[in-house]
Amino acid sequence: MLGFVFSVIVVCSECEFKDLQSAINSARDWDRIVVKSGTYKGPVTVDRRVELIGEREPVLDGEGKHQVLTIRADDVRVEGFVIKNSGMSYSEDIAGLKVINSRNCVIKNNRFLNNFFALYLERVSGCLVEGNNIVGFAKTEGSSGNGIHAWSSEGLIIRKNFIKGHRDGIYFEFVKDSLIEGNRSEYNLRYGLHFMFSNDDVYRNNHFYKNGAGVAVMYSRNIGMEGNIFERNEGLANYGLLLKDITDSKLYKNKFMNNTHGAYLEGCNRTTFEENLFENNGWAVRIYANSEDNLFRRNSFIGNAFDVSTNTLSYFRNTFEGNYYDRYEGYDLDRDGYGDLPYRPVSFIAFLFEKYPLTLILYESFLARLLDAMEKLIPLLNPEALVDKKPLMVKP
Amino acid sequence: MFAKLIKYELYDLFKSKWIVGLFLFYLLVTYVLLELGRDFKKALISHNNLSLITLTLFSLLLSTNYLYNNKNFIEFVLTQPVKRSSLFVSLAVSLSIAIAIGFSLGSFLPFYYHFGIVPLYIKTITFNLLLIPLFVLSGLLIAILIEDKLKGLGLVLLLWLFSSTLYDGIILYLILIFSDYPVEKVLLFLTLANPIDLIRLVALMETGLYEVMGFAGKWVAKYLRELWFLPALLSLFYTFILLLLGLYTFRKKDF
């Protein structure tokens, strides 16, 4: 009876089973299939609850024609494989590994190489994706898929993966109650991480480096963002973090470094920014007028060309309170830790630039400094509401 | 003869407190910038901005003043068998050398003290040096053209104000007016036509800030990256034109 529960099937070139599909066909639920190293051809479909364990990195090759591995059963584990060369299709989402209508899958320590979509999760719940190394060779956005693509799923845990060279590193569409943690996503054409219509998710301690944009959160609610690093997402219209039509989210202790835009807020409401670091960005924070009730507290602004920029003079309904600005020139006579003079984080030239992008050729010129100094004395152009009444004197 | 003239003029200049003051000024300012900021790039940009403003002013004032104050010396030299052109060139060269030494030593020493040899600040200081002959020649030209010292100094100040601020003001105004038209290239050209703006942009490029500046930054970078030699070339070109103008007026001038 026990032997029946834990039976192990071995696949190798000299074994009884020489290819993976026949091994799966003869396996029963809860079997373990051990695949020895070697190259095996796709496509392979898994339709029962089995564990696929690769020993010394067996290769599953799609030969650029079809989907390599498809999983249509619950409780499947895939570990230690190299999955490469899936086909490419403009009409179908072909992937290196696709999981469909499944629960509790585990995808661990695999390498995905040169796939269209690398890992595709479709109507999946409670899946763990951990320690995978995903490398694509995307050239244009149209001809490439995403690294980890999740659609209409819930309860996913995506942890400690490395993703490079796809369209989006990780893409969430209609995914809820999921966690993305400790991943590194770099050199992706579009976004390092992309949320669409996904609610109640958390991503933390990830590193987004040199993507088209670090992270884009769109049309989503209640997203937690913690301890992430957004670095060197630079280019004509590039963002560390793009927030578009999202509400009730929270950013805590993230680092934005050397991005063209640190955080870009469009239609972003009731979101809290706390203890984040904005360092050496072109624009640390860019807020559009349709963003309301956001709170910025205890953030640090250091060495940015512009701390805050906005397209409105009159209607600004966000709060800046107790942030640290390296440009602040006030003093603290009563020694309560807060500067005695309010700080206006929008500079004159930042406002001019918002309207006339070309004025940037005058950045750091004597005239621009003069105008900024004048603006401090005679505040005509600053949005009246955009002021930090209690700027911090030292970095939090 | 030419070398002898330069020798005497340099000797004279170093005896005057001007150059020493210039040296001390830059020494102090650069030291304070580095002490306060403790951030290399920021200090570098601040230093560059300050140099663009002050160096031009000092070059103008010093050269005009020198010509006004040493009229007797010039008239005396001209009684000797000395070519007028070589006298004028020697004036310009010795003034430029003196200011360049004061400025570069004063700026270099604090940077060196804090960071040792870093190509970046050496590059910026060198780019700043390009401005000196330009404004020395302008100052000399004004002093030759205008007899009255007060008027001459007034004109010098006006020229300084124009090149450091008003010119940018005009460009800003043009940008606001023509914002709906594709005039980027014209405006870039106009900006580059002013040596002060030119060197400011180059310094911004060098410190790498443009990478994060988005549209305009990338766009300026695109041109200045390909044409990295342009600032040096343009300043040399301007210097050459001013030199010709100066020579012509100096020859015509009745001392």
How buried is A246 (Cβ within 10 angstroms: 0-12 exposed, 13-18 middle, 19+ buried)? buried
Closest CA to A325 of A262, A392, A235, A260: A392
Percent of chain A with pLDDT over 90: 50
Calculate the average pLDDT of chain A.
Answer: 88
B191 pLDDT above the threshold of 90: no
Record the tokens describing residue A215, joined without a space: 């992270």
Shortest Cα distance from B45 to chain A (angstroms)? 8
The DSSP call for residue A328 is -
Strands A229-231, A255-257: pairing kind: parallel
| B148 φψ region: left (φ > 0), alpha (ψ -120 to 50), beta (else) | beta
- Rounded to an integer, the average pLDDT of A334-349 is 85
B215 pLDDT above the threshold of 60: no
Which residue reads 């079809």 in tokens? A66
Confidence band of A139 (pLDDT split at 50, 70, 90) = confident
Q: Are A193 and A220 in contact (CB under 8 A)?
A: no
* B177–chain A Cβ distance below 8 A for any pair: no
Shortest Cα distance from B201 to chain A (angstroms)? 8
Confidence band of A148 (pLDDT split at 50, 70, 90) = very high
* B179–chain A Cβ distance below 8 A for any pair: yes
Region of poorest pLDDT, from A98-107, B117-126, B187-196? B187-196
Of residues B65 and B191, more confidence is placed in B65
Collapsed DSSP state (helix, strand, coil) of residue A25: helix
Shortest Cα distance from A253 to chain B (angstroms)? 22
CB contact under 8 Å between A361 and B188, yes or no, is yes
* B172–chain A Cβ distance below 8 A for any pair: yes
Confidence band of A251 (pLDDT split at 50, 70, 90) = very high
* B12–chain A Cβ distance below 8 A for any pair: no
- Among B42, B184, B197, whose Cβ lies nearest the Cβ of A365? B197
Mutate to test the interface with B, among A354, A364, A371 (most CBs of B within 10 A): A364
Percent of chain A with pLDDT over 70: 96
Q: For residue A286, give every residue at least 6 positions away whose Cβ sits within 8 Å of its Cβ, in sequence order, or none.
A: A261, A263, A264, A265, A308, A309, A310
CB contact under 8 Å between B209 and A305, yes or no, is yes
CA dist A4 and B4 (Å) reads 107
Q: pLDDT tens, A373-384? A: 887 777 666 666
Chain A residues near residue B211 by CB distance under 8 angstroms = 234, 258
- Among B52, B175, B218, whose Cβ lies nearest the Cβ of A356? B175
CB contact under 8 Å between A260 and B169, yes or no, is no
Q: pLDDT tens, A221-234? A: 999 999 999 998 87
Q: What is the pTM of this model?
A: 0.81
* B197–chain A Cβ distance below 8 A for any pair: yes
Shortest Cα distance from B138 to chain A (angstroms)? 21
CB contact under 8 Å between A358 and B187, yes or no, is yes
CA dist A104 and A49 (Å) reads 10
CA dist B28 and B42 (Å) reads 17
Q: Are A168 and A152 in contact (CB under 8 A)?
A: no
The DSSP call for residue B40 is H
- Rounded to an integer, the average pLDDT of B79-96 is 88
Residues 22-41 of B with CB under 8 A from A: 39, 41
Confidence band of B33 (pLDDT split at 50, 70, 90) = confident
CA dist B213 and B138 (Å) reads 34
CB contact under 8 Å between A260 and B168, yes or no, is no
Q: Are B141 and B246 in contact (CB under 8 A)?
A: yes
CB contact under 8 Å between A366 and B218, yes or no, is no
